[in-house]
Structure 1
Amino acid sequence: MEQSTGQGAQPPAKKAAVEVTLRRFTLADVDAMMAWASDPLAAAPCRWEPYTSTEPLLAFLRDAVLPHPWFRAICLAGDDRPVGAISVSPTDDGCRAELGYVLARAHWGKGVATAAVRRAVAQVFGELEGLLRVEALVDVPNAASQRVLEKAGFTREAVLRRYCVLKGNVKDMVIHSFISTDTVLLD
């Protein structure tokens, strides 16, 4: 059996990193937001039900998103239209916050969510005073979202058994964390 000397062999090409930007939402984003907010699959792991019209979504944007301390539109680099949303919601003590994100299905599996989580973590510790820890809770069967967090540098800590009721179902949740002394893995 011959052994390859490696001469002339090319290493596998590394997939180009996806670039995203995060920006504040505006009321004008309501139509783009409907792409994922009305999708039952995109909304399945979220606390809210899919939207069926723009009026309640516009009210949510106005009343919850715009005044939120850290709720951002996920945009692909070079395109200002939101393809998803990411939020970091501080707890009452201010040292912890919960991360949440949603992405239009057309962008699943392409590294967009991972890039957005990385960018959010890189920004949020400098923008939310006193923040020491960002947590993310993921439904145990949602392996894709768990991979997003782990690729973004989060640490899987535990399974929280019978942790919450989500859309009428009792759920076991996996908790992941990123603390202020962890290293942000920007591409």
Structure 2
Amino acid sequence: MDSKLITLRPFKLSDADDLMSYAGDDQVTRSLRWKTLTTKDEALTFIKDVCIPHPWRRSICIDDRSIGFVTVFPGSSDDRHKADLGYAIAAKYWGQGITTKAIEVAISQVFKDSPNLVRLQAFADVENKASQRVLEKAGFQKEGVLRRYGYLKGNIKDLNIGEPNLLHVKLDPESN
């Protein structure tokens, strides 16, 4: 996949059908905190109530079609210097390097958009080897395992935590 074809942009209501193609897939949503969407109305509501108002949720796009998302959850109050990164992509795009590229672009953008940000961290279920590999390829270094830290669809999970090694991550990924 040519990385120049991958873009990040804010969600639009017109993304509802595209969102349904991956947020309506149990295979994709099994690692997400929210339930699988089942109708276009749910997708529209999700975009309107969650995606659009979020301070940093971007649609991963190819030819302006939404195929996934990258979200940065900023800390508040005393934690405003750090943020958590999350992501998902349609199953048909798994293993193509698209999520890795989207995360690299997100890292660059979020540090530009958030001058007080000094730490960006991501979590991956210890059982989700593919997500761990995506983070590693995007420049994240595993810092450790947080035991019984995550709660996902009724299960307590162990999560790997890591942050990008900013010495090895291009803060301007377009300047190859």
Q: Same fold judged by TM-score > 0.5?
A: yes
Aligned to 1:5: none
Residue number in structure 1 paired with 2:71: 87
Q: Is the 8 A contact 1:32 1:83 kept in 2?
A: yes
In structure 1, which of residues 155, 159, 164 is the aligned counterpart of residue 141 of structure 2?
Answer: 155
What secondary structure is seen at the aligned counterpart in 2 of 1:106? helix
Q: Which amino acid aligns with 2:30?
A: A
Normalising by structure 2, we get a TM-score of: 0.91
Q: 2:119 aligns with which of 133, 143, 146?
A: 133
| Residue 17 of structure 1: how far off its partner (Å) | 5.2
Report how many residues are paired: 169
Can you list the C-alpha shifts for 1:145-164, whole angstroms capped at 9, x where unaligned? Answer: 11111111111000111112
- Give the alignment of 1:90-109 within 5 angstroms: 90-92=74-76, 93-109=79-95
For residue 129 of structure 1, report the CA deviation from its aligned partner. Answer: 3.0
2:34 paired residue number: 48
Q: How much is the aligned-residue C-alpha RMSD, in angstroms?
A: 1.4
The question of 1:143 aligning with 2:121 is answered no
1:55: how far off? 1.2
2:11 corresponding residue in structure 1? 25
Q: Which string of whole-angstrom CA distances, capped at 9 and with x for unpartnered residues, describes residues 130-149 of structure 1?
A: 11111111100111111111
- Give SS of 2:3's match: coil
Write the deviation string for residues 24-70 of structure 1: whole angstroms up to 9, x where unpaired: 11111011110110000100110011101111221111111111111
Contact persistence 2:138–2:164 (CA under 8 A): no
Q: Distance in 2 between matches of 1:159 and 1:17?
A: 34
The one-letter code matched in structure 1 to 2:168 is: T
Structure 2 gap segments, 5+ residues each: none
Are 1:112 and 2:105 counterparts? no
Quote the Cα distance in structure 2 between the aligned partners of 1:36 and 1:73.
12
The percentage of counterpart residues that share the same residue type is 44
Aligned to 1:166: 152
Structure-1-length-normalised TM-score: 0.86
Quick check: 1:85–1:103 contact (8 Å CA) kept in 2?
A: yes
- Does structure 2 retain, via aligned residues, the 8 Å contact 1:160–1:172? yes
> For 2:38 and 2:12, how far apart are their aligned partners in 1?
20
Match 1:38 to one of 5, 24, 27: 24
Moved over 4 A (4+): none
| 1:183 lines up with 2:136 in the alignment | no
Would you say the 8 A contact 1:74–1:85 is kept in 2? yes
Distance (Å, rounded) in 1 between the aligned partners of 2:169 and 2:42: 36
Q: Give the Cα separation in 2 of the matches to 1:162 and 1:106.
A: 31
